[in-house]
Structure 1
Amino acid sequence: GTGALGAHVARWAAGNGAEHLVLTGRRGDAAPGATELRDELTALGVRVTVAACDVADRDALAGLLARLDDDPAPLTAVVHAAGLNDVVPLVDTDLARLAAVMGGKIAGAAHLDELLGDRPLDAFVLFASIAGVWGSGGQAGYAAGNAYLDALAERRRARGLAATSVAWGPWADGGMATDEAQRELARRGLRVMSPADAIHALRVAVGRGRACLTVADVDWATFAPAYASNRPRPLLADLPEARPAAPTTEDEPGDGGQPLREQLLALPGDEQDKLLTDLVRTHAAAVLGHSGPERVKPQRAFKELGFDSLTAVELRNRLTRATGLSLPTTLVFDYPDPAAVAGHLLAALVPEAGRQEAADPAEAAVRQALATIPLARIREAGLLDLLLKLTDGDDAEQAPTGEDGDSIDEMDADALIRLALDGSES
């Protein structure tokens, strides 16, 4: 009750006819700003009680409710705005961390519901979160706790009791999102709401008589493509505002395809692959905010690099413009690292390269073996000029030979290595 969200609700209640406000918190008057808030509300003509009570402690809450029953002014409304978040991957969430997140959010609401029983109330309001509606990275426990609040509200409504669970988007002042988290949410299309707008929405939500509502300021053009990048999201199909922004399988490509294709056709196969891999790494680095592609390794998984649904869409859009290809929104999920994406781009940009006859296995083995030999040793063995002539395409009659007269291009890998290292075949 003395936190940022509780304070906003208390100010609204004080200005709209409340006679007695009871603000609970584990530290009571000792909580930061509690005394100042009490004085502010009292100055508005409202009787205010700041009670030290942890709603997750059933006995403490029962004692507080008993004292309120002795008060001349009856309890008419409850607002449960407590919560604790802990952003951590699910695999690192142990029972202790899960219990800590669940305590204030679930236990407090469950105790209030149980201890109040079938008492008639004007309002029983639960502050939930969008994390329980469409999920949020690293917030498995918090999402589950908020989903519980929605279910609790539905159950109370089924019993004929007052209940409203509001799944909130981020507030500009208060809530669980820090300033940094708010900036990140805004980048994903979730804009912070002013407390005045949020409180107005709360009043409307309670008046609608529905168990569960979601209140968020969403930029659908940004949010929808990222949210649905990995798989279809039926939720978006039910929202008229979101449908135009929901991604299709393919978007309009850019105009960079033909110049890039011509550039690739002028390069040998290995250079084609390197060019496209560097292209993917460069754009991936830009999306992640790196100064250069050095931190984006060709065969390191996008997930390990820090990609999520939003950055995956950003990379796909960049590559669509750079290549002129119609790329699926699931590109990063279908091809898990930069090298794999580069291979897909090459097959799409230069399909004739895939139809070329595969290199002879023996030749491939020779090339691979030569790549492991330092150039200086090949030069010392007197083979550099011979190998350069061989790569220039001299025919068999002019091809260089070993000491026993065998043509170099007819030698197997072992013989060529011995020749390069020892200057002879023996």
Structure 2
Amino acid sequence: CAVVGDDLPGLAAAADAAGSTRVAQVRDLAAAADARADVVFVSLAPRAENLSEVVADTRALVHAWSSDERFGTARLVLVTRGSALAPSGANPVHAAAWGVMRTAMAEHPGRFVLVDTDDHEDSAGALCAAVAAGEPESSVCAGRVRVPRLARAFPPVAVALPAFDPEGTVLVTGRADGLGGTVVRHLVAKHGARRLVLATGPDDEPGRTADGEPWPTPVPDVRSAAIELAEPEADITVSHCDPADRDALADLLANHPVSAVVHTTGDPTGLWHLHELTRDRNLAAFVAFSAIGGILGAPGAPERAAHAAYADAVIRRRRTEGHPATSLAWGPWAGDASAVGDTERVWFKRNAIGELTPDEGLALLDTTRGSDDAVLVPAALDAFALRGRAVDGVPAALRDLIPTTADPSGVETTEGPAASGRTSTLRRRLAALSPLEQQRFVLDLVREEAAGVLGHATPAAVTASRAFRELGFTSLASIALRNHLTAATGVALPVTVAFDHPTPAALADFLRDELVGTPREDRFPHPAANVVDTDEPIAIVGIGCRYPGGIHNPEDLWRLIAAGGDAASEFPTDRGWDLAALFAADPDRPGTSHTRMGGFLHDAGDFDAGFFGISPREALAMDPQQRLLLETSWEAMEHAGIAPAALRGADVGVFAGMMFHDYATGLDRVPDGIEGYRGTGSAGSVVSGRVSYSFGFEGPAVTVDTACSSSLVALHLAAQALRRGECSMALAGGVAVMATPSVFVEFSRQNALSPDGRCKAFAASADGTGWGEGVGVLLLERLSDARRGGRRVLAVVRGSAVNQDGASNGLTAPSGPAQQRVIRRALAGAGLSVGDVDVVEAHGTG
């Protein structure tokens, strides 16, 4: 083991005697990792008193531990004094650290342990014994070990309740349109309260939900809140007082004969001030609303769990001082958007903790009055459903509430005989299956665990080919999936496994390979990294294209060329262009084009988003150039007789030329639901990256913008990458769709635009350029690989070259000598001379 710091004298001495690692400070945890310690003890400083600092430091400790793979099979033991389990609740700040650590334990089962202890001479040995026993939480006092378990306090039935003192005032804290207002109404209607003060905080300002979204309902001001809460038989005062402001709270208490307090906000500072300022008052009741996350952890919300655990400890402390006090650690309420985030809600559902309706919650509030227990947990627990999950281990605090055959420790780790046995059993079972059956078996396992993490009733909701992000996985959910798969298989998986293998199918492939011992590289037995042949010809084995005139494949293009057809057309009518104002015969009129003609893809907006697993909202945010490149890339592979799925995980490169970047640039307001997708939807870099992502290619992904030569340069780069062994196959080409007419306007001002929208290169009638759209994609392989694979070779690229004109006659003016040089270089690279050339195809802008 390893011990961090000197605050644990008994443990430190034992570690020294055993030759174990001693680490001076938490930031030196790496020393413990290097020593391969299986248990590391960290002590929270006994004098730690600043709540915010303790919470921040504990969160940092959790992050450092959980993000370091060297600690993957080790346990971190946080040792506190007088915190969550101390009968007196002597140190609420230490209890807050328990809330953070309980959250970490929920997110990373088996990685963390909590022990609360004292300085008794027998406690160090008992502490080690408690940790060795596998209990995730324990308290050691004078050498005796206790473990925390929840028990049913009383049946949820009606009880006789004493009426509130009619001469006293009930102080309620909370929002007028939230729990504060709800409790005020309930106390008046059901408990006979006649004088109440609702402390809403400054201006009762709109709050935020657990996920950071604005509170969904309007917030009334104090005057309207008072009117809304008015009761004919009750005197209700609504105050701006914030209990976190000690002086303001003292003034409020001085002006009202408060006889009972109900603190609903969960604010720890306000709770402490209420506790201090009412000690000398003979209160009939002091109720603090806490949260079950302080006891079980709150995945995704460690700070809220810390505040809840702090509140529970304050109440215990108040009880030991002889004052009435009750903490209600509520389970989630239906519709209470501020209390539970999505990640926490999924975790609750997985652990059979449902939502309370407002009526159920208020009824439970009634039954808690007069209880002798300091901390109560009003929650909707489905014990039957939880019993069904016992085989996977349940939160330690819940184990006495259900019959279970789970291991007493409740946590399955990835070390020791149990994990080894699970792995061996699973490997033997897989060995008896065919490769296809193995794949299906492991995929079913991954989908079942994924469904459980997301809270789905069946694995049917988990599509094998969809990315975990698209299925709804957050970072925490991904870690939870890793933990459950580790527990189910005994394989120590990295915390990044769901990111490294981002679909259930990919993760199942990886897990199967880990279990049956198949090397990953065997899936692609001819890695390109060893291939370096600068003279290797590059074969074109597949083509995908869309061009004006309804051309959707190479055969359509050839028919148009052979017939001498003309695919020019008038401006499209579905792009929001002001066609009436756009055209002007005068080439000098600002803001206009002196042609109505061009080569357009009139169906550029059509896209089968579902085919590629893309949501309608994301598809709308995507530049049509991204959509077209996806479709034609698929068609190029299909044209070559290759199933795209067969290349997933292969080192296929994507090289795309693109010169128009104006999609959605003219929007004054982004449509609802599009924000968050617009950046990737319009970024040029994503044009190539999305192809690689969608098909699972792991070769280079490069977007090129060299204006009219973009596609040729992309082809050149692809050929170079293939020859250097950077990829074994490549998609190369380009795409052009004009989302705005700006290029027509710009070239009209330059007098460089042909009035009829057609280029007439090398003709005496040449009068400017014509603009057109299209997409073309070539599937490329080294010629030797294409022949080895039995591909149909459509053409061969033997050489190519790229340069720049340099200081020519103008920024956009060509340089004859520079172009001659690049042609000679391409011929030399191909091993050809000028005399070998039969046909020259040239690009001309008129």
Structure 2 residue 205 is the aligned partner of structure 1 residue 42: no
Structure 1 position 76, deviation (Å): 1.0
Number of the residue aligned with 2:260: 77
Structure 1 position 46, deviation (Å): 0.5
Structure 2 residue 178 is the aligned partner of structure 1 residue 7: no
Largest Rg, 1 or 2: 2
* Separation in 2, partners of 1:12, 1:286: 39
Residue number among 280, 298, 301 corresponding to 1:139 in the alignment:
301
Residue number among 339, 343, 353 corresponding to 1:177 in the alignment:
339
On the 8 A contact 1:225/1:245 being kept in 2, the answer is: no
* Separation in 2, partners of 1:291, 1:180: 21
Q: What whole-Å deviation, never above 9, does each CA across 1:156-208 have from its counterpart, x for those lacking one?
A: 11110011011000112437336857863663332111222212212222311
On the 8 A contact 2:353/2:380 being kept in 1, the answer is: yes
* Separation in 1, partners of 2:337, 2:177: 9
Structure 2 residue 519 is the aligned partner of structure 1 residue 112: no
* Separation in 1, partners of 2:390, 2:303: 20
Residue number among 251, 254, 257 corresponding to 1:63 in the alignment:
251
* Separation in 1, partners of 2:298, 2:394: 17
Number of the residue aligned with 2:323: 161
* Separation in 1, partners of 2:788, 2:489: 48
Structure 2 residue 390 is the aligned partner of structure 1 residue 216: no
Structure 1 position 67, deviation (Å): 1.3
Structure 1 position 218, deviation (Å): 1.9
Number of the residue aligned with 2:397: 235
On the 8 A contact 1:332/1:341 being kept in 2, the answer is: no
Residue number among 54, 59, 68 corresponding to 2:242 in the alignment:
54
On the 8 A contact 1:273/1:343 being kept in 2, the answer is: no
Structure 1 position 285, deviation (Å): 6.8
Residue number among 367, 380, 383 corresponding to 1:204 in the alignment:
367
Q: What whole-Å deviation, never above 9, does each CA across 1:66-97 have from its counterpart, x for those lacking one?
A: 111xxxxx3210011114xxxxxxxxxxxxxx
On the 8 A contact 2:291/2:330 being kept in 1, the answer is: yes
- As a proportion of its length, which structure holds more strand? 2
* Separation in 2, partners of 1:232, 1:259: 27
In 2 relative to 1, CA 32–214 (structure 1 residues): closer, same or farther, beyond 3 Å?
A: same
- TM-score, normalising length from structure 2? 0.32
Structure 2 residue 455 is the aligned partner of structure 1 residue 293: no
- TM-score, normalising length from structure 1? 0.59
2:478 maps to amino acid: F
Structure 1 position 220, deviation (Å): 3.9
Number of the residue aligned with 1:195: 358
* Separation in 1, partners of 2:397, 2:789: 70
* Separation in 2, partners of 1:278, 1:330: 13
On the 8 A contact 2:179/2:264 being kept in 1, the answer is: yes
* Separation in 2, partners of 1:382, 1:10: 77
Number of the residue aligned with 2:478: 307
Structure 1 position 248, deviation (Å): 9.1
In 2 relative to 1, CA 3–294 (structure 1 residues): closer, same or farther, beyond 3 Å?
A: closer
* Separation in 1, partners of 2:375, 2:336: 21
On the 8 A contact 1:273/1:346 being kept in 2, the answer is: no
Number of the residue aligned with 2:198: 23
Q: SS where residue 293 of structure 1 aligns?
A: coil
Q: What whole-Å deviation, never above 9, does each CA across 1:3-48 have from its counterpart, x for those lacking one?
A: 4211221122102211201011124588527555533543341011
% same residue: 29
On the 8 A contact 1:236/1:242 being kept in 2, the answer is: no
Structure 1 position 280, deviation (Å): 6.2
Residue number among 502, 506, 516 corresponding to 1:346 in the alignment:
516
On the 8 A contact 1:281/1:296 being kept in 2, the answer is: no
Q: SS where residue 197 of structure 2 aligns?
A: strand
2:376 maps to amino acid: L
In 2 relative to 1, CA 185–191 (structure 1 residues): closer, same or farther, beyond 3 Å?
A: farther
Structure 1 position 214, deviation (Å): 1.1
1:57 maps to amino acid: D
On the 8 A contact 1:281/1:293 being kept in 2, the answer is: no
1:141 maps to amino acid: E
Structure 1 position 215, deviation (Å): 1.2
On the 8 A contact 1:171/1:193 being kept in 2, the answer is: yes
In 2 relative to 1, CA 259–226 (structure 1 residues): closer, same or farther, beyond 3 Å?
A: closer
Query: Gaps spanning 5+ residues in structure 1: where?
Result: 69-73, 84-104, 251-255, 317-327, 348-352, 359-363, 385-426
1:241 maps to amino acid: I
Structure 1 position 370, deviation (Å): 8.7
Q: SS where residue 193 of structure 2 aligns?
A: coil
In 2 relative to 1, CA 368–131 (structure 1 residues): closer, same or farther, beyond 3 Å?
A: same
In 2 relative to 1, CA 123–259 (structure 1 residues): closer, same or farther, beyond 3 Å?
A: closer
Structural mapping, 1:250-399, within 5 Å: 264=434, 267=435, 291-293=463-465, 295=467, 306-309=477-480, 311=481, 329-331=487-489, 334-336=492-494, 337=497, 338=507, 341-343=511-513, 345-346=515-516, 376-377=783-784
* Separation in 1, partners of 2:315, 2:290: 10
* Separation in 2, partners of 1:284, 1:209: 41
Structure 1 position 138, deviation (Å): 2.1
Q: What whole-Å deviation, never above 9, does each CA across 1:234-287 have from its counterpart, x for those lacking one?
A: 3233x233636887979xxxxx999976652xx5xxx89877776666667766
* Separation in 1, partners of 2:447, 2:358: 41
On the 8 A contact 1:185/1:191 being kept in 2, the answer is: no
In 2 relative to 1, CA 294–22 (structure 1 residues): closer, same or farther, beyond 3 Å?
A: closer
* Separation in 1, partners of 2:348, 2:515: 31
Structure 2 residue 220 is the aligned partner of structure 1 residue 32: yes
Structure 1 position 334, deviation (Å): 3.2
Moved more, 182-191 or 112-121: 182-191
* Separation in 2, partners of 1:333, 1:36: 60
Q: What whole-Å deviation, never above 9, does each CA across 1:92-144 have from its counterpart, x for those lacking one?
A: xxxxxxxxxxxxx1110111111122211010010000111111112121111
Q: SS where residue 369 of structure 2 aligns?
A: helix
On the 8 A contact 1:282/1:292 being kept in 2, the answer is: yes
In 2 relative to 1, CA 258–174 (structure 1 residues): closer, same or farther, beyond 3 Å?
A: same
- As a proportion of its length, which structure holds more helix? 1
On the 8 A contact 1:272/1:346 being kept in 2, the answer is: no
